[in-house]
């Protein structure tokens, strides 16, 4: 190191020592109330600033000031016009006989604490201290992931957030809307049902801002099929059997005629599955198509089925003809016996 380097280092050490001893500003000096401070040691009101903003530190001077400095706890930020801090966010704003002002840009939690302006006059030293409070908007830092569970499982959702002041946390079911809610970082859902599946929202709030994130819960359950409806179709016409199943995950469908599996394209039949609905279509009904059909819906949790009857209009006509025959015979017997009844 050159002679000049030794001199600069020695000068800085001398200034630091003089500021600590001569100005009586020890590191970590607690903030004192104005009632306890001496006339030459002024305590300013706390400065509250939000994270990311810029704070200005102002200190009154005087024409008899010989040395002045801004200190942050255990380090010197500025000694007069000389910048001692290596932080690029700290800079000098004003230094004259009236005021000594520096600023700190993009403040963070590490900047919170006590700051002291130390002034040496020709008679005695004086200090001005101020405490900077940093407010931080809430940020959700730990959140349960989207989950897939089977119906009847016990679920616990977790949401944790940081911020200053400390944020309050709440949960609620938003889609579909429901009355399930919690004013705690944990949300307990015992024996979850399919109706509790959906999107859950965690909200973290403090005086500064709000942070919101969501968790999706998917509930698996076995298929339930709607009751089958019998269908009557004339020979040579088009007929459709429809089977609808409620299931998560979506069900696979199988069709049977009596005990025989029916496949797509078999005997001119077409099977089309779209989501929760399966359609068995007959494009040209024949006598061989009439009969009993069964739709089976299957997923990994179970199965369900329903039955259909595909019939022709002849069955209806046969039933009506039999009734007509009985009615005709009754009328004929009445006419035969009518003359005998009139004699009495």
Mean pLDDT to the nearest integer, 296-311: 97
- Report the pLDDT value the prediction gives residue 25, as an integer from 0 to 100: 35
328 is a domain residue: no
User: Is 190 in the same domain as 276?
Assistant: no
> Total structural domains in the chain?
3
Is residue 32 pLDDT above 70, yes or no?
Answer: no
280 is a domain residue: yes
CA distance 245 to 254: 12
Quote the distance between the C-alpha of residue 255 and its chain's center.
41
- Report the pLDDT value the prediction gives residue 206, as an integer from 0 to 100: 96
256 is a domain residue: yes
Confidence of residue 41 (pLDDT cuts 50, 70, 90): confident
User: Is 247 in the same domain as 282?
Assistant: yes
Non-local (6+) Cβ contacts of 116 within 8 A are 25, 29, 70, 71, 127, 128, 129
Where among 136, 167, 201 does a domain terminate? 136
User: Is 155 in the same domain as 100?
Assistant: no
Using one digit for the tens of pLDDT, what is the confidence trace for 76-109?
999 999 999 999 999 999 999 889 999 999 999 9
Range of the domain at 51: 41-136
Where among 136, 159, 175 does a domain terminate? 136
| Residue 3 vs residue 14, higher pLDDT | 14
Range of weakest confidence among 176-190, 279-293, 316-330: 316-330
User: Is 204 in the same domain as 270?
Assistant: no
| Residue 22 vs residue 176, higher pLDDT | 176
Confidence of residue 310 (pLDDT cuts 50, 70, 90): very high
| Residue 35 vs residue 115, higher pLDDT | 115
- Report the pLDDT value the prediction gives residue 27, as an integer from 0 to 100: 32
Range of weakest confidence among 30-44, 67-81, 143-157, 322-336: 322-336
Confidence of residue 65 (pLDDT cuts 50, 70, 90): confident
324 is a domain residue: no
User: Is 183 in the same domain as 265?
Assistant: no
Q: List the Cα angle 135/76/118 in 5-degree steps.
A: 90
- Report the pLDDT value the prediction gives residue 338, as an integer from 0 to 100: 43
User: Is 184 in the same domain as 116?
Assistant: no
User: Is 211 in the same domain as 253?
Assistant: no
CA distance 85 to 95: 17
Kind and range of the H or E run holding 255: strand 252-257
| Residue 3 vs residue 16, higher pLDDT | 16
28 is a domain residue: no
- Report the pLDDT value the prediction gives residue 330, as an integer from 0 to 100: 39
User: Is 255 in the same domain as 177?
Assistant: no
- Report the pLDDT value the prediction gives residue 116, as an integer from 0 to 100: 96
Confidence of residue 66 (pLDDT cuts 50, 70, 90): confident
User: If you ran DSSP here, which 8-state letter would residue 20 be given?
Assistant: H
- Report the pLDDT value the prediction gives residue 11, as an integer from 0 to 100: 39
Is residue 39 pLDDT above 60, yes or no?
Answer: no
7 is a domain residue: no
Range of weakest confidence among 44-48, 95-99, 286-290, 332-336: 332-336
316 is a domain residue: no
User: Is 105 in the same domain as 157?
Assistant: no
- Report the pLDDT value the prediction gives residue 62, as an integer from 0 to 100: 78
User: Is 203 in the same domain as 185?
Assistant: yes
We report the CATH number of the domain holding residue 85 as 2.60.40.10
Using one digit for the tens of pLDDT, what is the confidence trace for 185-233?
999 999 999 999 999 999 999 999 999 999 999 999 999 999 999 999 9
Q: What is the mean pLDDT of the chain?
A: 83
| Residue 41 vs residue 174, higher pLDDT | 174
| Residue 38: Cβ-neighbour burial (10 angstroms; 0-12, 13-18, 19+) | exposed
331 is a domain residue: no
User: Is 45 in the same domain as 94?
Assistant: yes
- Report the pLDDT value the prediction gives residue 314, as an integer from 0 to 100: 58
Where among 136, 152, 180 does a domain terminate? 136
Percent of the chain exceeding pLDDT 70 equals 79
- Report the pLDDT value the prediction gives residue 14, as an integer from 0 to 100: 39
User: Is 207 in the same domain as 239?
Assistant: no
Is residue 10 pLDDT above 60, yes or no?
Answer: no
Beta strand residue intervals within 61-209, DSSP E: 65-72, 75-79, 82-83, 90-95, 99-104, 113-121, 125-143, 147-150, 155-164, 168-175, 177-182, 186-189, 198-205
Using one digit for the tens of pLDDT, what is the confidence trace for 276-292?
999 999 999 999 999 99
- Report the pLDDT value the prediction gives residue 36, as an integer from 0 to 100: 39
Confidence of residue 16 (pLDDT cuts 50, 70, 90): very low
């Amino acid at each position: 190191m050159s002679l000049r380097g030794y001199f600069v280092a020695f000068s800085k050490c001398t200034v630091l020592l003089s500021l600590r001893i001569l100005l009586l500003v020890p590191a970590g000096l607690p903030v004192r109330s104005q009632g306890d401070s001496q006339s030459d040691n002024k305590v300013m009101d706390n400065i509250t600033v939000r994270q990311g903003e810029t704070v200005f530190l102002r200190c009154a001077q005087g024409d008899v000031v010989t040395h002045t400095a801004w200190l942050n706890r255990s380090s010197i930020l500025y000694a007069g016009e000389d910048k001692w801090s290596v932080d690029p966010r700290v800079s000098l704003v004003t230094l004259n006989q009236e005021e000594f002002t520096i600023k700190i840009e993009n403040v963070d939690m590490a900047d919170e604490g006590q700051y002291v302006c130390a002034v040496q006059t020709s008679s005695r030293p004086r200090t001005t201290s101020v405490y900077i409070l940093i407010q931080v908007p809430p940020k959700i830092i730990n959140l349960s992931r989207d989950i897939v569970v089977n119906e009847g499982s016990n679920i616990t959702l977790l949401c944790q957030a940081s911020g200053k002041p400390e944020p309050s946390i709440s949960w609620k079911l938003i889609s579909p809307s429901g009355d399930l809610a919690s004013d705690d970082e944990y949300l307990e859902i015992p024996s979850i049902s399919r109706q509790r599946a959906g999107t859950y929202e965690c909200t973290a709030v403090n005086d500064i801002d709000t942070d919101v994130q969501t968790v999706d819960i998917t509930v698996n359950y076995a298929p339930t099929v709607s009751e089958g409806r019998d269908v009557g179709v004339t020979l040579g016409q088009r007929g459709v059997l429809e089977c609808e199943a409620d299931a998560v995950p979506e069900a696979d469908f199988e069709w049977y005629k009596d005990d025989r599996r029916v496949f797509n394209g078999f005997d001119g039949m077409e099977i089309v599955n779209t989501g929760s609905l399966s359609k068995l279509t007959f494009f040209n009904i024949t006598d061989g198509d009439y009969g009993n059909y069964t739709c089976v819906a299957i997923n990994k949790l179970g199965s369900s089925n329903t039955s259909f009857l595909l019939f022709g209009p002849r069955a209806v006509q046969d039933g009506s003809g039999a009734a007509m025959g009985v009615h005709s015979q009754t009328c004929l017997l009445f006419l035969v016996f009518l003359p005998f009844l009139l004699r009495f």
